[in-house]
Amino acid sequence: MSDAELYKRQGMGNRIGFGKKAALVLVDFTVGFNDPNAFGGGNVNDAVQNTVPLLAAARRNRVPVAYTRVMYAKDRSNVGVFATKNAKLADLTMDNPLSHVVPELTPIDGEYIIDKTEASAFLGTGFASWLAMRRVDTLVITGATTSGCVRATVVDACGHNFRPIIVRDCVGDRALGPHEASLFDMDQKYGDVMGSNEIIAAFTHQGGK
């Protein structure tokens, strides 16, 4: 029995699909997480490049857009267990160029930037309230890393009863093993893994309403 067959036998892997309104979130697509000499490597840069047309489609169809950045105080007063376990994260401060969104995906006016100190976009932030104000029920998730902050955001989105849609070719990780394992696991338990072409079509439909 294959892994997929086992999960199906146990009632997992059901499709949840899109709800009434989607938002796009770009998780930690920052200079540091796209730099193999910092926190990047693997297929992260491919995911960044694949997200460029997806972001353009979201903007064109008036889909709400949010970004996350790992951001700590320069005096490290808000460093917790996450940045203790991963010590170099504490260097990601506002005056560090590695902390900011990659130039290819630069935010524009009206897009929400979430500065966070934990893996999830939800923990200790106003993200859930921002989504609720916009009556969003579906969260299209891109970013880095697949096995880290993307996964944490997907799990918490599910826990907040948003429909997580993970964009397969727009998430990346420094190591491909954790990337593939996380995609499989999220697709089985927490959300739907889809390709960017499918998402662009869904955004076009939403924008046409």
Residues with a known catalytic role: 149
The C-alpha atoms of residue 176 and residue 185 are separated, in whole angstroms, by 14
C-beta of residue 196 within 8 angstroms of C-beta of residue 165: no
DSSP reduced 3-state for 174: coil
For the chain, where are the alpha helices, taking DSSP H only? 3-9, 44-60, 81-85, 127-133, 151-159, 176-189, 196-207
Contacts of residue 75, Cβ cutoff 8 Å, sequence gap at least 6:
none
